[in-house]
Structure 1
Amino acid sequence: MTTSVNHSRLGKFGLYVLLAGQLLPQIDFSIVNVALDAIAHSLHATETELELLVAVYGVAFAVCLAMGGRLGDNFGRLKLFNFGVLLFGVASLLCGLATSIWFLLAARALQGIAAALLVPQILATIHVSLTGHAHSRALGFYGAIGGLAFIVGQVLGGFLVSADIAGTGWRSVFLINLPVCAAILACSRRWVPDTRREHAAHIDWPGTLLLTAVVLCILLPISLGPSLHWSWPCFALLAAAVPLLRMLWNAELRQEQRGAFPLLPPSLLRLPSVRFGLLIAILFFSCWSGFMFVVALALQSGAGLSPVHSGNAFIVLGASYFAGSLLSTRVVAKLGRTPTLILGCLIQMSGLLLVMATFNRVWPHPGILNLAPATLLMGFGQAFIVSCFFRIGLADVPAEQAGAGSAMLATLQQASFGLGSALLGAVFAQTLHYSGHYLDATLAGLGAEFCLMLILLLSAVARHYRSRDLPVAVQAGVK
């Protein structure tokens, strides 16, 4: 059996460097949202081109994630992490210097590729370099930074666009990455251990191409469907994903049966913990992105708030999320993974109902103060859910497949971000079309999210009664 080579243990400062690297791509996933109007005026972009600007980053990110994990396994995770950070800095500079929308689109695609190279190395390095409490604690930090970055992107983007630092306007949301990239590269070689597989695996080109086709067939029509009025090519692409997915499964099975190293090992999908982790990704991260999208539309288009005030409405959610993530390690140790997930769902769903009640009571004047109690509850519950997603999804993944396992989870996570915005956005838009009232549309979108969260809650309860997870503190040595 192949094993993972680990030259030294990951220390506290090394973990901080990895988490700083994690901030880069995840903040950039949402920071551009509040800059779209400024970009449209500056580069004369059409609505479809703005849709592409959001989609191309996510598509490139999701398509290349699994390959990024495999390259890190083979050539060294620190080397791929540093290369990804460097490439991300170059791509950010190109975004900041863009003089046309098509130049900006190409630079955003390069940003997505760079993100896919660096992100799998972070979770894989944590997974193979730490054990026991240190491993669980690091995953708590990983979950805290991951979710917080999505919210920080909204707040920071609104501030930078409005501040217009040195006349850079929307360009500052990309140029701010440059000093961060430089600092990470200066610290990583000293503090981050270099890990890799003991024996390099061949690149799975059939799996890579088929995975690319599947992701494109799902994410492109979901991202562009609303702007193309869901014309027949969108449905044709979605339908094509089904046979392509079957072809991908058969190709990966053949690779595994030959003793090769498939990009997405079917053996991992046979693990109940991995399958349940993927279910969490589909349901919860769709709800996460859908909530951010619907509430942003409600606050800006419906209530008329500026990008700065709209972004500030998520500050309480972000703060409570961060606090909950730091607490999640002790909660998981006391209750167990699945019970903590159930608790997180109950808290999040209570907060969601309170958000709906608040909108109904204060409309058309929602703001950071009247939304604070509800978003505080939501952030706390979401922190428990995200931390359990990584703990459950990687619980039984062997160290030599850490890169493939983390890439598989991250790929579906990114795909679900796009799926949620499209699904809940479609409910929002359809309700707005028929009723003409933003409040009705907002409540309909959030109601759809509640239904998805209810499915996740019931699935978690069923899993708990099947497996009866013991508290992690009792499972000595288990990651």
Structure 2
Amino acid sequence: MKSGIDATTLGQSGLIVLLAGQLLPMIDFSIVNVALDAMSATLHASPIQLELIVAVYGIAFAVSLAMGGRLGDNLGRRRVFSYGVLLFGIASLVCGMAPNVWTLLLARALQGIGAALIVPQILATLHVTLHGREHSRALGLYGGIGGMAFIIGQVLGGFLINANPGGYGWRSVFLINIPLCLAILLLAPRTIPETQNDRRVAIDWPGTLYLVGAIGCLLTALALGPLLHWRWPCLVLLAAFPLLLCRLWQVEQVLERRGGTPLLPPALMRLHGVRFGLTIAVLFFCCWSGFMFVVALTLQSGLGLSAFQSGNAFIALGVAYFISSLLSTRVVERLGKVPTLIAGCLIQMTGLLGLGWTFNHGWAHMSIAQLIPATALIGFGQAFIVSCFFRIGLAEVPKSHAGAGSAMLSTVQQAAFGLGPMVLGAIYSHALLPAGDYQHAVLLALGAEWLIMLALVFSAVILRRGGTQGHTSVQGNKPTLDPAICTVRDKAE
């Protein structure tokens, strides 16, 4: 492992710069949602084009994450992080100046690629440069900032649209990224240690292409399917997803057996913590993004709130999330990772029941204040879940595979973010279409989310029991690996 400053530690200023970099891609997932109406009016965008403005960013982000992790391992994580911030800033400027929809779509795709260069370097740098309590605390902050960014995007987007600074309207939601990008680029070389693997590894081009194809087919089909009424091209893309995923797994296994370095090492998938983390990602982050989508739609279309008011409705959730994320390190140290995860799920599920009760009994005279108790509970529980996701997923990953491990977790996380609005949105739309009853639709969607979270609780109990009886355990800091996996760790040491 090589270093430009000090490869053994990451100072407080460096941690702040990394977390500031994390804000960029996370905020842009949600900030655009509240600007779509204004974009439609200015650019004369069709509903399909508006959907693509949202979807193309997530697709480019998800399909490029694994490659972003590999580039950081090879070229230096701080260097690739800075390149990602630079690309993200340039793309944000183009988004803010876009004269038409097609220019905006291209710039959004470039934003997604820039985000994919940023995110794996943050997790990998934390994993490589910090240890013990500092490592656990940093992961807690990482999870907290990530969740807060999603909420900040909703609130900040509504504020900017309402305030219309400089007369830029919706363009300000992109232009606001530029000062932050410049500050990060100035501070990164002075505060973030340069780390990379001792030896460069060849790019796994077949694995990269199959991964891009699989995720691209899935997210494109789900993004356009409802708008195109599931015509045959969407069905073909959806059917191609499992075939490409199976082929990806076969290619990676063959490369690993030949002594190569796969983009997504199958050896990591044999680690119990990684499998557990991926399960959390699929179930929880799908619910999270779906929840934000259906509740925001209900507040604006069902209850008639403005974009600014709708964003403010999530403030209590965000504040509770941030407080909980600060407490998560102590709670994990006292209870353990999996019990904290289960506690977070139960707290969030209680909040979902409370929110359902609020919508059911206060619909006729709903105010933002009525939503505070339930949304605060939801946010408090969510922070425990997110912080445990990264702690569990990376606990057993060798430092030489930090980029690949963080990219694997982040790829599934971002894909789940893309799936959420489609999954809960489909349930929501199905309940809404017959009579346009927004109250019934949101209650049904919240009920579906509650059941998915219940499935996550059962999965946590089962996987924890399997972890204590099998080859690896997610509870300890130094899990015991079976001989087939030890080769991965041997190379790291």
The corresponding residue for 1:198 is 198
TM-score (norm 2): 0.94
After TM superposition, give the deviation of residue 468 of structure 1 in Å: 5.2
Within a 5 Å distance, the mapping from 1:410-449 to structure 2 comes to: 410-449=410-449
After TM superposition, give the deviation of residue 395 of structure 1 in Å: 0.8
Contact between 1:225 and 1:231, CA under 8 Å: does it hold in 2?
yes
- Describe the superposition over 1:112-155 as per-residue Cα deviations: whole angstroms up to 9, x where unpaired: 00000111000000000001000000000000000110010000
The letter of the residue matching 2:443 is L
The corresponding residue for 1:180 is 180
Contact between 2:344 and 2:380, CA under 8 Å: does it hold in 1?
yes
* CA distance in 1: counterparts of 2:74 and 2:345, whole angstroms: 38
Is 2:35 the counterpart of 1:38?
no
After TM superposition, give the deviation of residue 460 of structure 1 in Å: 0.8
Cα distance, 1:455–1:56 mapped onto 2, change above 3 Å = same
Paired positions, count: 475
Contact between 1:22 and 1:122, CA under 8 Å: does it hold in 2?
yes
- Describe the superposition over 1:366-402 as per-residue Cα deviations: whole angstroms up to 9, x where unpaired: 3320000001100000000000000011110000000
* CA distance in 1: counterparts of 2:256 and 2:89, whole angstroms: 37
The corresponding residue for 1:342 is 342
Within a 5 Å distance, the mapping from 1:3-22 to structure 2 comes to: 7-22=7-22
The corresponding residue for 1:357 is 357
> Which SS does the other structure have where 1:139 is aligned?
helix
Cα distance, 1:233–1:220 mapped onto 2, change above 3 Å = same
The corresponding residue for 1:275 is 275
Identity, % of aligned positions: 62
* CA distance in 2: counterparts of 1:477 and 1:254, whole angstroms: 29
* CA distance in 2: counterparts of 1:51 and 1:166, whole angstroms: 27
The corresponding residue for 1:228 is 228
After TM superposition, give the deviation of residue 212 of structure 1 in Å: 0.3
Contact between 2:396 and 2:478, CA under 8 Å: does it hold in 1?
no
After TM superposition, give the deviation of residue 476 of structure 1 in Å: 6.3
Contact between 1:8 and 1:194, CA under 8 Å: does it hold in 2?
no
* CA distance in 2: counterparts of 1:253 and 1:452, whole angstroms: 31
Contact between 1:27 and 1:152, CA under 8 Å: does it hold in 2?
yes
Cα distance, 1:223–1:4 mapped onto 2, change above 3 Å = farther
> Which SS does the other structure have where 1:285 is aligned?
helix
- Describe the superposition over 1:140-183 as per-residue Cα deviations: whole angstroms up to 9, x where unpaired: 00000001100100000000011110100000000000100011
* CA distance in 2: counterparts of 1:335 and 1:7, whole angstroms: 31
After TM superposition, give the deviation of residue 462 of structure 1 in Å: 1.8
* CA distance in 2: counterparts of 1:132 and 1:435, whole angstroms: 55
* CA distance in 1: counterparts of 2:14 and 2:365, whole angstroms: 45
> Which SS does the other structure have where 1:260 is aligned?
coil
* CA distance in 2: counterparts of 1:180 and 1:417, whole angstroms: 24
After TM superposition, give the deviation of residue 475 of structure 1 in Å: 4.8
After TM superposition, give the deviation of residue 10 of structure 1 in Å: 0.5
* CA distance in 2: counterparts of 1:81 and 1:51, whole angstroms: 29
* CA distance in 2: counterparts of 1:283 and 1:380, whole angstroms: 18
Contact between 1:299 and 1:366, CA under 8 Å: does it hold in 2?
no
After TM superposition, give the deviation of residue 217 of structure 1 in Å: 1.0
Is 2:390 the counterpart of 1:393?
no
Contact between 2:395 and 2:477, CA under 8 Å: does it hold in 1?
no
* CA distance in 1: counterparts of 2:74 and 2:295, whole angstroms: 42
In structure 1, the gaps of 5 or more residues are: none
Is 2:212 the counterpart of 1:212?
yes
The letter of the residue matching 1:110 is L
The corresponding residue for 1:287 is 287
Cα distance, 1:407–1:365 mapped onto 2, change above 3 Å = farther
Is 2:45 the counterpart of 1:67?
no
* CA distance in 2: counterparts of 1:286 and 1:395, whole angstroms: 23
Cα distance, 1:422–1:475 mapped onto 2, change above 3 Å = closer
The letter of the residue matching 1:381 is G
Contact between 1:4 and 1:128, CA under 8 Å: does it hold in 2?
no
In structure 2, the gaps of 5 or more residues are: 480-493
* CA distance in 1: counterparts of 2:327 and 2:390, whole angstroms: 15
The letter of the residue matching 2:83 is F
* CA distance in 1: counterparts of 2:389 and 2:8, whole angstroms: 27
* CA distance in 1: counterparts of 2:421 and 2:64, whole angstroms: 21
> Which SS does the other structure have where 2:262 is aligned?
coil
* CA distance in 2: counterparts of 1:300 and 1:107, whole angstroms: 28
* CA distance in 1: counterparts of 2:367 and 2:86, whole angstroms: 39
After TM superposition, give the deviation of residue 322 of structure 1 in Å: 0.5
* CA distance in 1: counterparts of 2:435 and 2:444, whole angstroms: 11
* CA distance in 2: counterparts of 1:452 and 1:137, whole angstroms: 28
The letter of the residue matching 2:459 is S
The corresponding residue for 2:166 is 166
* CA distance in 2: counterparts of 1:396 and 1:22, whole angstroms: 23
TM-score (norm 1): 0.97
After TM superposition, give the deviation of residue 364 of structure 1 in Å: 3.7
The letter of the residue matching 2:158 is G
Cα distance, 1:104–1:476 mapped onto 2, change above 3 Å = closer
The corresponding residue for 2:317 is 317
Cα distance, 1:342–1:4 mapped onto 2, change above 3 Å = farther
> Which SS does the other structure have where 1:233 is aligned?
helix
* CA distance in 1: counterparts of 2:359 and 2:461, whole angstroms: 30
Contact between 2:328 and 2:387, CA under 8 Å: does it hold in 1?
yes
Contact between 2:80 and 2:117, CA under 8 Å: does it hold in 1?
yes
The letter of the residue matching 2:451 is C
Within a 5 Å distance, the mapping from 1:81-92 to structure 2 comes to: 81-92=81-92
Is 2:427 the counterpart of 1:463?
no
CA RMSD after TM alignment: 1.7
